[in-house]
Structure 1
Amino acid sequence: MIVRFLICSLFSVTFLSIKAQENFAAYANIKIEPTNKINFNETDIAVSYKKNLGTKYKIANTLEYSNLKVSYELNQFDFYQEQDKFNQIQNRFEFSHEISEKTKWQFSIIPTANFQQNLDLSDITVLGNIAINQQLSSKLNLVIGAGRTSIFGAPKFTPIAGLDYKFSDKANLRVGFPDSQIKYSNNERNEFKLTNSFNGNFYHLDTSDAVNKAVLSQITTAFEYDRNVSKNWFLNFKAGYDFNKKYKLADSSNRQIYDYNIGNGYVLGIGIKYKQ
Protein backbone atom coordinates (compact mmCIF):
# COMPACT_ATOMS: atom_id res chain seq x y z
CA MET A 1 0.00 0.00 0.00
CA ILE A 2 2.82 2.42 0.87
CA VAL A 3 4.60 1.65 -2.41
CA ARG A 4 1.45 2.30 -4.45
CA PHE A 5 0.84 5.56 -2.57
CA LEU A 6 4.39 6.80 -3.25
CA ILE A 7 4.15 5.93 -6.95
CA CYS A 8 0.77 7.62 -7.34
CA SER A 9 2.12 10.70 -5.55
CA LEU A 10 5.12 10.83 -7.90
CA PHE A 11 2.91 10.89 -11.00
CA SER A 12 0.10 13.09 -9.67
CA VAL A 13 -0.58 16.37 -11.45
CA THR A 14 -2.09 19.45 -9.81
CA PHE A 15 -4.51 21.35 -12.02
CA LEU A 16 -5.55 23.93 -9.42
CA SER A 17 -3.21 26.49 -10.97
CA ILE A 18 -4.86 26.31 -14.40
CA LYS A 19 -6.50 29.66 -15.05
CA ALA A 20 -6.36 30.03 -18.83
CA GLN A 21 -8.65 27.52 -20.52
CA GLU A 22 -6.68 27.54 -23.76
CA ASN A 23 -3.74 25.92 -21.95
CA PHE A 24 -5.53 22.64 -21.21
CA ALA A 25 -5.69 19.59 -23.49
CA ALA A 26 -6.64 15.92 -23.36
CA TYR A 27 -6.20 13.26 -26.01
CA ALA A 28 -6.50 9.55 -26.76
CA ASN A 29 -4.76 7.50 -29.48
CA ILE A 30 -4.97 3.98 -30.86
CA LYS A 31 -2.11 2.52 -32.89
CA ILE A 32 -1.56 -0.87 -34.54
CA GLU A 33 1.82 -2.17 -35.72
CA PRO A 34 1.59 -5.65 -37.29
CA THR A 35 4.65 -7.63 -38.41
CA ASN A 36 5.05 -11.06 -40.01
CA LYS A 37 5.44 -12.78 -36.63
CA ILE A 38 3.98 -10.54 -33.91
CA ASN A 39 1.31 -7.82 -33.81
CA PHE A 40 1.45 -4.79 -31.51
CA ASN A 41 -1.63 -2.76 -30.47
CA GLU A 42 -1.16 0.33 -28.33
CA THR A 43 -3.70 2.63 -26.65
CA ASP A 44 -2.74 5.78 -24.77
CA ILE A 45 -4.54 8.64 -23.05
CA ALA A 46 -3.12 11.87 -21.67
CA VAL A 47 -3.96 15.21 -20.09
CA SER A 48 -1.71 18.26 -20.26
CA TYR A 49 -1.53 21.95 -19.49
CA LYS A 50 0.74 24.89 -20.23
CA LYS A 51 1.17 28.06 -18.22
CA ASN A 52 3.13 31.30 -18.61
CA LEU A 53 5.03 32.46 -15.53
CA GLY A 54 5.55 36.07 -16.45
CA THR A 55 6.85 37.06 -19.88
CA LYS A 56 9.97 34.87 -20.06
CA TYR A 57 9.14 31.65 -18.25
CA LYS A 58 6.83 28.82 -19.25
CA ILE A 59 5.92 25.47 -17.75
CA ALA A 60 4.08 22.50 -19.20
CA ASN A 61 2.99 19.20 -17.71
CA THR A 62 1.66 16.05 -19.38
CA LEU A 63 0.42 12.96 -17.56
CA GLU A 64 0.06 9.92 -19.84
CA TYR A 65 -0.99 6.28 -19.54
CA SER A 66 -0.42 3.73 -22.31
CA ASN A 67 -1.23 0.05 -22.69
CA LEU A 68 0.56 -2.22 -25.17
CA LYS A 69 -0.90 -5.58 -26.19
CA VAL A 70 1.29 -8.10 -28.00
CA SER A 71 -0.19 -10.91 -30.11
CA TYR A 72 2.11 -13.87 -30.79
CA GLU A 73 0.78 -15.58 -33.90
CA LEU A 74 3.28 -18.44 -34.21
CA ASN A 75 3.41 -21.42 -31.83
CA GLN A 76 7.19 -21.21 -31.57
CA PHE A 77 6.66 -18.30 -29.14
CA ASP A 78 4.27 -20.13 -26.77
CA PHE A 79 6.78 -20.11 -23.95
CA TYR A 80 6.63 -16.28 -23.88
CA GLN A 81 2.92 -15.75 -24.44
CA GLU A 82 2.40 -14.63 -20.84
CA GLN A 83 4.27 -11.49 -21.91
CA ASP A 84 1.36 -10.08 -23.88
CA LYS A 85 0.37 -6.95 -21.93
CA PHE A 86 2.55 -4.00 -20.90
CA ASN A 87 1.75 -0.71 -19.16
CA GLN A 88 3.36 2.69 -18.84
CA ILE A 89 2.58 5.69 -16.63
CA GLN A 90 4.61 8.76 -17.52
CA ASN A 91 4.69 12.35 -16.33
CA ARG A 92 6.55 14.95 -18.37
CA PHE A 93 7.34 18.30 -16.73
CA GLU A 94 8.86 20.97 -18.99
CA PHE A 95 10.33 24.36 -18.13
CA SER A 96 11.58 27.00 -20.57
CA HIS A 97 13.28 30.36 -20.11
CA GLU A 98 13.68 33.08 -22.72
CA ILE A 99 17.23 34.34 -22.19
CA SER A 100 17.01 36.93 -24.95
CA GLU A 101 14.83 37.73 -27.94
CA LYS A 102 16.59 35.06 -30.01
CA THR A 103 17.75 32.56 -27.39
CA LYS A 104 15.95 30.33 -24.93
CA TRP A 105 16.73 27.15 -23.05
CA GLN A 106 14.41 24.42 -21.91
CA PHE A 107 14.59 21.26 -19.89
CA SER A 108 12.27 18.39 -19.06
CA ILE A 109 12.16 15.75 -16.35
CA ILE A 110 10.19 12.60 -17.11
CA PRO A 111 9.60 10.00 -14.38
CA THR A 112 8.17 6.89 -16.01
CA ALA A 113 6.90 3.58 -14.64
CA ASN A 114 7.10 0.78 -17.23
CA PHE A 115 5.69 -2.50 -15.97
CA GLN A 116 3.92 -5.68 -16.99
CA GLN A 117 1.12 -6.13 -14.43
CA ASN A 118 2.49 -5.54 -10.92
CA LEU A 119 3.59 -1.95 -10.31
CA ASP A 120 6.55 -1.45 -7.96
CA LEU A 121 9.10 1.24 -7.12
CA SER A 122 11.77 -0.71 -9.03
CA ASP A 123 9.76 -0.09 -12.24
CA ILE A 124 10.37 3.67 -12.09
CA THR A 125 13.00 5.29 -14.32
CA VAL A 126 13.76 9.00 -14.60
CA LEU A 127 14.35 10.36 -18.09
CA GLY A 128 14.72 13.96 -19.31
CA ASN A 129 16.62 16.38 -21.50
CA ILE A 130 18.02 19.90 -21.78
CA ALA A 131 18.33 21.97 -24.96
CA ILE A 132 19.20 25.42 -26.27
CA ASN A 133 17.01 27.03 -28.93
CA GLN A 134 18.78 29.70 -31.00
CA GLN A 135 17.08 31.78 -33.69
CA LEU A 136 19.62 32.31 -36.47
CA SER A 137 17.40 34.38 -38.75
CA SER A 138 13.75 35.14 -39.38
CA LYS A 139 13.39 31.75 -41.07
CA LEU A 140 16.11 29.59 -39.51
CA ASN A 141 16.25 28.16 -36.00
CA LEU A 142 18.78 25.80 -34.33
CA VAL A 143 18.09 23.39 -31.45
CA ILE A 144 20.89 21.48 -29.75
CA GLY A 145 21.03 19.53 -26.52
CA ALA A 146 21.20 16.11 -24.88
CA GLY A 147 18.96 13.86 -22.87
CA ARG A 148 18.44 10.53 -21.16
CA THR A 149 15.92 8.82 -23.44
CA SER A 150 14.57 5.38 -24.33
CA ILE A 151 14.57 5.83 -28.12
CA PHE A 152 16.87 2.79 -28.53
CA GLY A 153 14.85 0.64 -26.14
CA ALA A 154 16.81 1.32 -22.95
CA PRO A 155 17.63 4.44 -20.88
CA LYS A 156 20.65 6.03 -22.56
CA PHE A 157 22.17 9.48 -22.96
CA THR A 158 21.61 10.65 -26.53
CA PRO A 159 22.18 13.90 -28.46
CA ILE A 160 19.34 16.16 -29.54
CA ALA A 161 19.70 18.32 -32.64
CA GLY A 162 17.38 20.07 -35.03
CA LEU A 163 17.51 22.71 -37.74
CA ASP A 164 14.16 24.38 -38.46
CA TYR A 165 13.45 26.28 -41.65
CA LYS A 166 10.25 28.24 -42.18
CA PHE A 167 9.30 28.36 -45.85
CA SER A 168 6.16 30.42 -45.17
CA ASP A 169 3.32 30.77 -42.68
CA LYS A 170 1.94 27.51 -44.10
CA ALA A 171 5.03 25.31 -44.39
CA ASN A 172 8.16 24.52 -42.39
CA LEU A 173 10.86 21.87 -42.23
CA ARG A 174 12.85 20.29 -39.40
CA VAL A 175 15.92 18.15 -40.05
CA GLY A 176 17.42 16.57 -36.96
CA PHE A 177 17.78 13.75 -34.48
CA PRO A 178 15.80 11.95 -33.13
CA ASP A 179 12.94 13.64 -35.04
CA SER A 180 12.59 15.19 -38.49
CA GLN A 181 9.47 16.44 -40.23
CA ILE A 182 8.03 18.60 -42.95
CA LYS A 183 4.73 20.27 -42.15
CA TYR A 184 2.18 22.03 -44.35
CA SER A 185 -1.16 23.66 -43.54
CA ASN A 186 -3.39 24.82 -46.38
CA ASN A 187 -5.86 26.46 -43.97
CA GLU A 188 -6.56 26.77 -40.24
CA ARG A 189 -8.32 23.38 -40.12
CA ASN A 190 -5.94 21.11 -42.02
CA GLU A 191 -2.34 20.18 -41.25
CA PHE A 192 -0.26 17.61 -43.14
CA LYS A 193 3.01 16.16 -41.83
CA LEU A 194 5.67 13.80 -43.12
CA THR A 195 7.69 12.61 -40.13
CA ASN A 196 10.70 10.43 -39.40
CA SER A 197 11.58 9.48 -35.83
CA PHE A 198 13.77 7.15 -33.80
CA ASN A 199 11.60 5.73 -31.02
CA GLY A 200 11.54 2.88 -28.55
CA ASN A 201 10.54 1.72 -25.09
CA PHE A 202 11.15 -0.93 -22.46
CA TYR A 203 9.04 -2.72 -19.86
CA HIS A 204 10.04 -4.45 -16.63
CA LEU A 205 8.70 -8.02 -16.46
CA ASP A 206 7.02 -9.74 -13.52
CA THR A 207 9.82 -12.27 -13.14
CA SER A 208 12.75 -12.99 -10.87
CA ASP A 209 14.89 -14.89 -13.38
CA ALA A 210 17.53 -13.58 -15.80
CA VAL A 211 14.95 -12.25 -18.26
CA ASN A 212 13.39 -9.14 -16.73
CA LYS A 213 12.91 -6.61 -19.56
CA ALA A 214 11.05 -6.45 -22.85
CA VAL A 215 12.74 -4.00 -25.23
CA LEU A 216 11.32 -2.40 -28.39
CA SER A 217 12.83 0.04 -30.88
CA GLN A 218 12.31 1.19 -34.48
CA ILE A 219 12.64 4.04 -36.95
CA THR A 220 9.20 5.24 -38.04
CA THR A 221 8.46 7.15 -41.23
CA ALA A 222 4.84 8.26 -41.42
CA PHE A 223 2.34 10.56 -43.05
CA GLU A 224 0.00 12.34 -40.61
CA TYR A 225 -3.13 14.41 -41.10
CA ASP A 226 -4.60 16.63 -38.38
CA ARG A 227 -8.14 17.93 -38.78
CA ASN A 228 -9.75 20.61 -36.64
CA VAL A 229 -13.35 19.36 -36.76
CA SER A 230 -14.74 22.06 -34.44
CA LYS A 231 -13.56 24.82 -32.14
CA ASN A 232 -12.08 22.48 -29.50
CA TRP A 233 -11.92 19.05 -31.15
CA PHE A 234 -9.16 17.65 -33.36
CA LEU A 235 -8.66 14.34 -35.17
CA ASN A 236 -5.33 12.79 -36.13
CA PHE A 237 -4.73 10.07 -38.73
CA LYS A 238 -1.37 8.34 -39.14
CA ALA A 239 -0.04 5.82 -41.68
CA GLY A 240 3.57 4.77 -42.05
CA TYR A 241 6.23 2.12 -41.87
CA ASP A 242 8.61 0.91 -39.14
CA PHE A 243 12.20 0.26 -40.22
CA ASN A 244 14.86 -1.62 -38.26
CA LYS A 245 12.13 -2.82 -35.91
CA LYS A 246 13.38 -4.86 -32.95
CA TYR A 247 11.70 -6.73 -30.11
CA LYS A 248 14.04 -8.35 -27.59
CA LEU A 249 14.25 -9.70 -24.06
CA ALA A 250 17.06 -8.44 -21.84
CA ASP A 251 18.48 -8.75 -18.33
CA SER A 252 18.82 -6.05 -15.68
CA SER A 253 22.04 -4.79 -17.34
CA ASN A 254 20.28 -4.46 -20.73
CA ARG A 255 22.20 -7.42 -22.16
CA GLN A 256 20.23 -9.25 -24.83
CA ILE A 257 18.82 -12.63 -23.81
CA TYR A 258 16.51 -13.34 -26.73
CA ASP A 259 15.70 -11.68 -30.07
CA TYR A 260 12.32 -12.33 -31.70
CA ASN A 261 13.63 -11.19 -35.13
CA ILE A 262 10.20 -9.81 -35.98
CA GLY A 263 11.16 -7.83 -39.07
CA ASN A 264 9.68 -4.53 -40.25
CA GLY A 265 6.02 -3.62 -40.60
CA TYR A 266 3.54 -0.83 -41.20
CA VAL A 267 1.89 1.40 -38.59
CA LEU A 268 -1.66 2.80 -38.55
CA GLY A 269 -3.06 5.15 -35.95
CA ILE A 270 -6.04 7.35 -35.13
CA GLY A 271 -6.39 9.87 -32.34
CA ILE A 272 -8.77 12.44 -30.91
CA LYS A 273 -7.82 15.57 -28.98
CA TYR A 274 -9.73 18.16 -26.97
CA LYS A 275 -8.02 21.52 -26.50
CA GLN A 276 -9.16 24.72 -24.82
Structure 2
Amino acid sequence: MKVRFLICSLFLISCLGLKAQENFSAAVNFKTEPTEKVNFSETNIAVFYQKKLGAKSKITNTLEYSNLKVNYELNPYDFYADQDKFNQIQNKFEYSSEITEKTKWQLSIIPTANFQNKLDFSDVTVLGSLEISHQIGSKLNVIVGVGRTSIFGAPKFTPIVAFDYKMNEKTNFRIGFPDSKISYSNNDRNKFSLTNSFNGNFYRLDEISNTENNAEKAILSQMTSALEYERNVGGNWFLNFKAGYDFNKKYNLLDSSDHEVYDYNIGNGYVLGIGIKYKQ
Protein backbone atom coordinates (compact mmCIF):
# COMPACT_ATOMS: atom_id res chain seq x y z
CA MET A 1 0.00 0.00 0.00
CA LYS A 2 2.83 2.41 0.86
CA VAL A 3 4.51 1.68 -2.46
CA ARG A 4 1.34 2.45 -4.41
CA PHE A 5 0.83 5.69 -2.44
CA LEU A 6 4.38 6.92 -3.10
CA ILE A 7 4.22 6.12 -6.81
CA CYS A 8 0.86 7.89 -7.22
CA SER A 9 2.27 10.91 -5.33
CA LEU A 10 5.14 11.09 -7.83
CA PHE A 11 2.70 11.51 -10.70
CA LEU A 12 0.10 13.71 -8.97
CA ILE A 13 2.42 16.23 -7.32
CA SER A 14 2.02 18.66 -10.20
CA CYS A 15 -1.75 18.86 -9.75
CA LEU A 16 -1.28 21.05 -6.67
CA GLY A 17 -0.94 24.10 -8.92
CA LEU A 18 -4.15 23.64 -10.87
CA LYS A 19 -5.82 26.68 -9.31
CA ALA A 20 -3.21 28.94 -10.86
CA GLN A 21 -3.51 27.49 -14.34
CA GLU A 22 -3.78 29.64 -17.45
CA ASN A 23 -4.75 26.93 -19.91
CA PHE A 24 -6.41 23.63 -19.20
CA SER A 25 -7.61 20.68 -21.27
CA ALA A 26 -8.83 17.14 -20.73
CA ALA A 27 -9.13 14.46 -23.40
CA VAL A 28 -10.26 10.88 -23.91
CA ASN A 29 -9.02 8.94 -26.96
CA PHE A 30 -9.74 5.49 -28.37
CA LYS A 31 -7.49 3.78 -30.91
CA THR A 32 -7.45 0.41 -32.69
CA GLU A 33 -4.48 -1.09 -34.54
CA PRO A 34 -5.21 -4.51 -36.09
CA THR A 35 -2.40 -6.55 -37.70
CA GLU A 36 -2.18 -9.98 -39.33
CA LYS A 37 -1.63 -11.86 -36.05
CA VAL A 38 -2.41 -9.49 -33.18
CA ASN A 39 -5.03 -6.77 -32.68
CA PHE A 40 -4.31 -3.81 -30.38
CA SER A 41 -6.89 -1.46 -28.85
CA GLU A 42 -5.95 1.44 -26.58
CA THR A 43 -7.86 3.87 -24.36
CA ASN A 44 -6.08 7.04 -23.24
CA ILE A 45 -7.14 9.70 -20.72
CA ALA A 46 -5.08 12.90 -20.40
CA VAL A 47 -5.22 16.12 -18.37
CA PHE A 48 -3.08 19.10 -19.41
CA TYR A 49 -2.41 22.54 -17.95
CA GLN A 50 -0.05 25.40 -18.73
CA LYS A 51 1.08 28.38 -16.69
CA LYS A 52 3.31 31.33 -17.52
CA LEU A 53 6.05 32.29 -15.08
CA GLY A 54 6.66 35.91 -15.87
CA ALA A 55 7.26 37.20 -19.38
CA LYS A 56 9.93 34.70 -20.49
CA SER A 57 9.16 31.33 -18.90
CA LYS A 58 6.31 28.85 -18.66
CA ILE A 59 5.56 25.38 -17.36
CA THR A 60 3.26 22.74 -18.79
CA ASN A 61 2.13 19.46 -17.31
CA THR A 62 0.34 16.48 -18.85
CA LEU A 63 -0.89 13.58 -16.73
CA GLU A 64 -1.96 10.50 -18.72
CA TYR A 65 -3.35 7.04 -18.16
CA SER A 66 -3.40 4.46 -20.97
CA ASN A 67 -4.82 0.96 -21.14
CA LEU A 68 -3.67 -1.30 -23.98
CA LYS A 69 -5.56 -4.52 -24.73
CA VAL A 70 -4.05 -7.20 -26.96
CA ASN A 71 -6.07 -9.84 -28.80
CA TYR A 72 -3.98 -12.80 -30.03
CA GLU A 73 -5.83 -14.35 -32.94
CA LEU A 74 -3.02 -16.82 -33.64
CA ASN A 75 -1.10 -17.73 -30.48
CA PRO A 76 0.28 -21.28 -30.29
CA TYR A 77 2.36 -20.34 -27.23
CA ASP A 78 0.07 -20.62 -24.21
CA PHE A 79 2.70 -19.19 -21.86
CA TYR A 80 2.14 -15.77 -23.49
CA ALA A 81 -1.64 -15.90 -23.20
CA ASP A 82 -1.65 -13.81 -20.02
CA GLN A 83 -0.05 -10.85 -21.83
CA ASP A 84 -3.36 -9.41 -22.99
CA LYS A 85 -3.51 -6.16 -21.02
CA PHE A 86 -0.94 -3.43 -20.29
CA ASN A 87 -1.22 -0.18 -18.33
CA GLN A 88 0.71 3.08 -18.29
CA ILE A 89 0.66 6.08 -15.93
CA GLN A 90 2.77 8.96 -17.19
CA ASN A 91 3.40 12.53 -16.12
CA LYS A 92 5.16 14.92 -18.50
CA PHE A 93 6.47 18.12 -16.90
CA GLU A 94 7.99 20.76 -19.18
CA TYR A 95 9.82 23.99 -18.37
CA SER A 96 10.74 26.44 -21.12
CA SER A 97 12.46 29.81 -21.02
CA GLU A 98 13.99 32.42 -23.32
CA ILE A 99 17.76 32.66 -23.61
CA THR A 100 17.55 35.59 -26.01
CA GLU A 101 14.70 37.15 -27.94
CA LYS A 102 15.03 34.49 -30.67
CA THR A 103 16.46 31.53 -28.74
CA LYS A 104 14.66 29.33 -26.19
CA TRP A 105 15.38 26.15 -24.29
CA GLN A 106 12.99 23.51 -22.99
CA LEU A 107 13.47 20.74 -20.44
CA SER A 108 11.03 17.87 -20.02
CA ILE A 109 10.97 15.26 -17.24
CA ILE A 110 8.70 12.27 -17.78
CA PRO A 111 8.31 9.69 -15.00
CA THR A 112 6.35 6.75 -16.38
CA ALA A 113 5.06 3.51 -14.83
CA ASN A 114 4.45 0.77 -17.41
CA PHE A 115 3.01 -2.45 -16.00
CA GLN A 116 0.50 -5.26 -16.45
CA ASN A 117 -1.54 -5.43 -13.24
CA LYS A 118 0.80 -5.05 -10.26
CA LEU A 119 2.23 -1.54 -9.85
CA ASP A 120 5.62 -1.38 -8.13
CA PHE A 121 8.73 0.84 -7.99
CA SER A 122 10.46 -1.46 -10.47
CA ASP A 123 7.87 -0.39 -13.07
CA VAL A 124 8.88 3.30 -12.89
CA THR A 125 11.24 4.73 -15.51
CA VAL A 126 12.25 8.36 -15.99
CA LEU A 127 12.34 9.67 -19.55
CA GLY A 128 12.85 13.24 -20.71
CA SER A 129 14.51 15.61 -23.16
CA LEU A 130 16.44 18.85 -23.55
CA GLU A 131 15.77 21.04 -26.60
CA ILE A 132 17.01 24.39 -27.91
CA SER A 133 15.06 26.33 -30.53
CA HIS A 134 16.15 29.32 -32.57
CA GLN A 135 13.97 31.62 -34.66
CA ILE A 136 15.34 32.41 -38.13
CA GLY A 137 13.41 35.23 -39.72
CA SER A 138 9.68 35.52 -39.18
CA LYS A 139 8.66 32.06 -40.44
CA LEU A 140 11.35 29.47 -39.67
CA ASN A 141 12.17 27.92 -36.30
CA VAL A 142 14.97 25.35 -35.88
CA ILE A 143 14.92 22.86 -32.99
CA VAL A 144 17.75 20.53 -31.88
CA GLY A 145 18.06 18.39 -28.79
CA VAL A 146 18.43 14.98 -27.24
CA GLY A 147 16.00 12.84 -25.30
CA ARG A 148 15.67 9.56 -23.45
CA THR A 149 12.62 8.16 -25.19
CA SER A 150 10.77 4.93 -25.91
CA ILE A 151 10.12 5.58 -29.61
CA PHE A 152 11.96 2.35 -30.50
CA GLY A 153 10.41 0.38 -27.64
CA ALA A 154 13.03 0.07 -24.91
CA PRO A 155 14.21 3.42 -23.43
CA LYS A 156 17.15 4.86 -25.37
CA PHE A 157 18.85 8.19 -25.96
CA THR A 158 17.74 9.60 -29.31
CA PRO A 159 18.38 12.85 -31.20
CA ILE A 160 15.67 15.44 -31.72
CA VAL A 161 15.69 17.76 -34.74
CA ALA A 162 12.93 19.74 -36.40
CA PHE A 163 12.36 22.61 -38.78
CA ASP A 164 9.11 24.50 -38.15
CA TYR A 165 7.96 26.68 -41.03
CA LYS A 166 4.87 28.87 -40.97
CA MET A 167 3.81 29.29 -44.57
CA ASN A 168 0.85 31.55 -43.74
CA GLU A 169 -1.87 31.99 -41.13
CA LYS A 170 -3.54 28.75 -42.19
CA THR A 171 -0.65 26.38 -42.95
CA ASN A 172 2.28 25.13 -40.86
CA PHE A 173 5.03 22.60 -41.59
CA ARG A 174 7.25 20.59 -39.26
CA ILE A 175 9.92 18.40 -40.85
CA GLY A 176 12.06 16.46 -38.42
CA PHE A 177 12.74 13.44 -36.23
CA PRO A 178 10.96 11.76 -34.52
CA ASP A 179 7.89 13.77 -35.64
CA SER A 180 6.88 15.53 -38.84
CA LYS A 181 3.61 17.32 -39.45
CA ILE A 182 1.75 19.45 -41.98
CA SER A 183 -1.31 21.23 -40.59
CA TYR A 184 -3.95 23.34 -42.29
CA SER A 185 -6.89 25.24 -40.79
CA ASN A 186 -9.45 26.78 -43.12
CA ASN A 187 -11.32 28.43 -40.22
CA ASP A 188 -11.46 28.55 -36.42
CA ARG A 189 -13.40 25.28 -36.19
CA ASN A 190 -11.52 22.92 -38.52
CA LYS A 191 -7.94 21.68 -38.42
CA PHE A 192 -6.46 19.07 -40.79
CA SER A 193 -3.07 17.44 -40.19
CA LEU A 194 -0.86 14.99 -42.05
CA THR A 195 1.58 13.42 -39.56
CA ASN A 196 4.50 11.02 -39.58
CA SER A 197 6.00 9.84 -36.30
CA PHE A 198 8.27 7.21 -34.81
CA ASN A 199 6.61 5.93 -31.65
CA GLY A 200 6.73 3.01 -29.27
CA ASN A 201 6.36 1.81 -25.71
CA PHE A 202 7.45 -0.86 -23.24
CA TYR A 203 5.80 -2.74 -20.38
CA ARG A 204 7.29 -4.80 -17.56
CA LEU A 205 5.74 -8.24 -17.15
CA ASP A 206 4.26 -9.26 -13.80
CA GLU A 207 5.78 -12.72 -13.93
CA ILE A 208 8.91 -13.87 -15.70
CA SER A 209 8.10 -16.56 -18.23
CA ASN A 210 8.89 -20.03 -16.89
CA THR A 211 10.45 -20.97 -20.22
CA GLU A 212 14.14 -20.75 -21.03
CA ASN A 213 13.51 -17.33 -22.64
CA ASN A 214 12.93 -15.56 -19.29
CA ALA A 215 11.08 -12.64 -20.86
CA GLU A 216 10.78 -9.64 -18.52
CA LYS A 217 9.60 -6.85 -20.80
CA ALA A 218 7.26 -6.41 -23.78
CA ILE A 219 8.06 -3.66 -26.30
CA LEU A 220 6.16 -2.19 -29.23
CA SER A 221 7.39 0.22 -31.91
CA GLN A 222 6.36 1.48 -35.33
CA MET A 223 6.43 4.41 -37.71
CA THR A 224 2.93 5.85 -38.14
CA SER A 225 1.70 7.98 -41.03
CA ALA A 226 -1.79 9.37 -40.49
CA LEU A 227 -4.37 11.92 -41.52
CA GLU A 228 -5.97 13.69 -38.55
CA TYR A 229 -8.97 16.00 -38.32
CA GLU A 230 -10.05 18.11 -35.35
CA ARG A 231 -13.44 19.82 -35.21
CA ASN A 232 -14.71 22.38 -32.72
CA VAL A 233 -18.24 21.14 -32.14
CA GLY A 234 -19.20 24.08 -29.96
CA GLY A 235 -17.79 26.14 -27.13
CA ASN A 236 -14.76 24.44 -25.58
CA TRP A 237 -15.47 20.98 -26.97
CA PHE A 238 -13.51 19.33 -29.79
CA LEU A 239 -13.77 16.01 -31.63
CA ASN A 240 -10.77 14.47 -33.35
CA PHE A 241 -10.44 11.63 -35.84
CA LYS A 242 -7.35 9.73 -36.99
CA ALA A 243 -6.77 7.27 -39.84
CA GLY A 244 -3.38 5.98 -40.89
CA TYR A 245 -0.97 3.10 -41.31
CA ASP A 246 1.79 1.59 -39.14
CA PHE A 247 5.03 0.71 -40.92
CA ASN A 248 7.81 -1.54 -39.58
CA LYS A 249 5.58 -2.51 -36.66
CA LYS A 250 7.28 -4.66 -34.01
CA TYR A 251 6.10 -6.50 -30.91
CA ASN A 252 8.94 -8.25 -29.09
CA LEU A 253 9.79 -9.71 -25.70
CA LEU A 254 13.09 -8.82 -24.01
CA ASP A 255 15.08 -10.28 -21.12
CA SER A 256 16.58 -8.37 -18.20
CA SER A 257 19.49 -7.18 -20.41
CA ASP A 258 17.12 -5.87 -23.11
CA HIS A 259 18.08 -8.69 -25.47
CA GLU A 260 15.31 -9.95 -27.75
CA VAL A 261 14.04 -13.39 -26.75
CA TYR A 262 10.89 -13.59 -28.86
CA ASP A 263 9.46 -11.81 -31.91
CA TYR A 264 5.72 -12.04 -32.62
CA ASN A 265 6.28 -11.07 -36.29
CA ILE A 266 2.92 -9.30 -36.29
CA GLY A 267 3.31 -7.43 -39.59
CA ASN A 268 2.10 -3.95 -40.43
CA GLY A 269 -1.46 -2.65 -40.13
CA TYR A 270 -3.73 0.35 -40.18
CA VAL A 271 -4.67 2.59 -37.26
CA LEU A 272 -8.03 4.22 -36.53
CA GLY A 273 -8.72 6.63 -33.69
CA ILE A 274 -11.39 8.90 -32.28
CA GLY A 275 -11.33 11.25 -29.32
CA ILE A 276 -13.03 14.09 -27.50
CA LYS A 277 -11.30 17.03 -25.83
CA TYR A 278 -12.27 19.94 -23.59
CA LYS A 279 -10.02 23.02 -23.88
CA GLN A 280 -10.07 26.39 -22.17
Give the match for residue 147 of structure 1.
Answer: 147
Structure 1: gaps (5+ residues): none
* Structure 2 counterpart of 1:161, one-letter code: V
- Paired residue total: 276
Give the match for residue 28 of structure 1.
Answer: 28
* Structure 1 counterpart of 2:116, one-letter code: Q
Give the match for residue 240 of structure 1.
Answer: 244
Residues 1:266 and 2:270 aligned together: yes
Is contact 2:75-2:81 (8 Å) kept? no
Give the match for residue 192 of structure 1.
Answer: 192
Give the match for residue 161 of structure 1.
Answer: 161
* Structure 1 counterpart of 2:120, one-letter code: D
Is contact 1:44-1:66 (8 Å) kept? yes
* Structure 1 counterpart of 2:78, one-letter code: D
Is contact 2:21-2:50 (8 Å) kept? no
Shift of 1:13: 3.8
Shift of 1:162: 0.1
* Structure 1 counterpart of 2:232, one-letter code: N
Is contact 2:172-2:184 (8 Å) kept? yes
* Structure 1 counterpart of 2:261, one-letter code: I
Distance across 1 between alignment mates of 2:102 and 2:121: 42
Distance across 1 between alignment mates of 2:257 and 2:207: 15
Distance across 1 between alignment mates of 2:10 and 2:196: 32
Distance across 1 between alignment mates of 2:15 and 2:118: 28
1:226-268 per-position Cα deviation (integer Å, ceiling 9, x unaligned): 1011120011100000000000010111100000000000000
Partner SS, residue 18 of structure 2: coil
Shift of 1:67: 0.2
Is contact 2:22-2:51 (8 Å) kept? no
Give the match for residue 133 of structure 1.
Answer: 133
Give the match for residue 235 of structure 2.
Answer: 231
Partner SS, residue 55 of structure 1: coil
Partner SS, residue 265 of structure 2: coil
Shift of 1:14: 4.1
Give the match for residue 81 of structure 2.
Answer: 81
Distance across 1 between alignment mates of 2:20 and 2:123: 35
Partner SS, residue 185 of structure 2: strand
* Structure 1 counterpart of 2:208, one-letter code: S
Partner SS, residue 7 of structure 1: helix
1:39-86 per-position Cα deviation (integer Å, ceiling 9, x unaligned): 000001011110001000100111100000000001424331110000
Residues 1:200 and 1:226: Cα distance change in structure 2 (over 3 Å): same
Shift of 1:137: 1.1
Q: Which 4+ stretches in 1 moved above 4 angstroms?
A: 19-22
Distance across 2 between alignment mates of 1:147 and 1:187: 35
Is contact 2:182-2:193 (8 Å) kept? yes
CA RMSD of aligned residues (A): 1.2
Distance across 2 between alignment mates of 1:142 and 1:223: 24
Distance across 2 between alignment mates of 1:192 and 1:141: 21
Distance across 1 between alignment mates of 2:160 and 2:176: 8
* Structure 2 counterpart of 1:241, one-letter code: Y
Structure 2: gaps (5+ residues): none
Distance across 2 between alignment mates of 1:231 and 1:265: 36
TM-score (ref. length: structure 1): 0.97
